[in-house]
Amino acid sequence: MKPVDIDSVPHSRAPSSARRTAKIRQTLVVVLVLNLAVAFAKLAYGLISGSLSMTADGFHSLLDGSANVVGLIGISIAARPPDPSHPYGHRRFETITALIIAMVMVLVVVQIVQEAWRRWQTGSVPEVDAYSFAVIGMSLLINIGVTAWERRRARELQSSILQADAKHTASDALVSVSVIGALIGVRLGYPILDVVLGVLIAVVIGWVAWTIIRDAALSLSDVAAVPVEVVERAALAIVGVQGVHNIRTRGGEGLVWVDLHIQVDPHLRVEDAHEIASAVAERVEEELGQPADVTVHIEPAVERHLRPTRGYRP
């Protein structure tokens, strides 16, 4: 029998891209409607009362809505099938969309800080009444509910767009709590709290933007998606695998790409070696617990191919 030389076996059992896209789009549309309703309520009352913290919170909620629109556009592009220019598909556009959301958040931070400086110089005092607390209280309850639901959907669909948007909405809830503090401070005769908490809101938004940028940068730089030991353990569990090396992983949107080399008996038939590689690919995906595109490179277990079974070595 001729020895098996090289055979690369790709494997993926990823769920329907169309179904995943539809679920992400549905989530973003629902959140968009809620965010716009909350944003207009806050902005209307903030501009009428002159409350910087309320107005800043309104812009934050409006930003949530604009982020949903950007997300809808991004997911439409990301859902396109592979083509000659994008053989791995367009899923990276989800990560790029998350970056755009973060950039818009940075612009809002600049706007809030500029307005806070103007208020500090002019010394204007906002009006606070029962309607202020009603508007912000309603917003807080909606944000808490939306954040919990969107985070759950983000985990289910492995979507960076939903993850970024959920972080954004969560920061909106924290901002609402700060606004309540500012309103109480103004009622007690400390209008400076409106400016101070407006700046704190900007800091919160800036921090959330940074976390989104950080996570997107890690994804785009192809940081390892899973520990080498997890893939190694799964591959060695298959009968016939005598060694594993050159394990590489990277994360995508709802999909992990895995490449690895395995050593098998050099006297196996090509068909038998292929069956082992397919079993390795299936076992690795099961071990990861999420959709994966696994490519297994087969080598004969002879001296020149035997290498340590740990991690990536060129």
pLDDT digits (tens, 9 = 90+) for 16-68: 567 777 888 888 888 888 878 878 877 877 777 776 666 766 776 777 677 77
Report yes or no: 66 and 29 within 8 Å, Cβ to Cβ: no
Q: pLDDT of 50-61, one tens digit each?
A: 766 667 667 767
Which pTM value belongs to this model? 0.60
**Structure tokens given for 186:** 């103004």
**239 exposed, middle or buried (CB, 10 Å; 0-12, 13-18, 19+)?**
exposed
Backbone φ/ψ region at 43: left (φ over 0), alpha (ψ -120 to 50), beta: alpha
Which amino acid appears at position 115 of this protein? E
| Tens digit of each residue's pLDDT (9 = 90 or more) over 222-275 | 777 888 889 999 999 999 999 898 899 887 656 788 999 999 998 889 899 999
Q: What are φ and ψ of residue 273, in 5° steps?
A: -65, -40
What are the tokens at 171?
A: 């920061």
From the CA atom positions of the chain, what is the Rg in Å?
26
| pLDDT of res. 236 | 92
Chain mean pLDDT for the chain: 76
User: For residues 103 and 108, what is the distance between their CA atoms, to the nearest angstrom?
Assistant: 9
Domains located in the chain, CATH noted = 17-220 (1.20.1510.10), 224-300 (3.30.70.1350)
Phi, psi values for residue 191, rounded to 5°: -65, -20
Q: How far apart are CA 44 and CA 31, in angstroms?
A: 20
**Burial, 214: exposed, middle or buried (Cβ in 10 Å; 0-12, 13-18, 19+)?**
exposed
Angle between helices 92-122 and 192-220 (to 10 degrees): 160
Question: What is the number of alpha carbons within 13 Å of residue 94 lying toward its C-beta?
Answer: 28
Q: ∠ CA 96-143-203 to the nearest 5 degrees?
A: 60
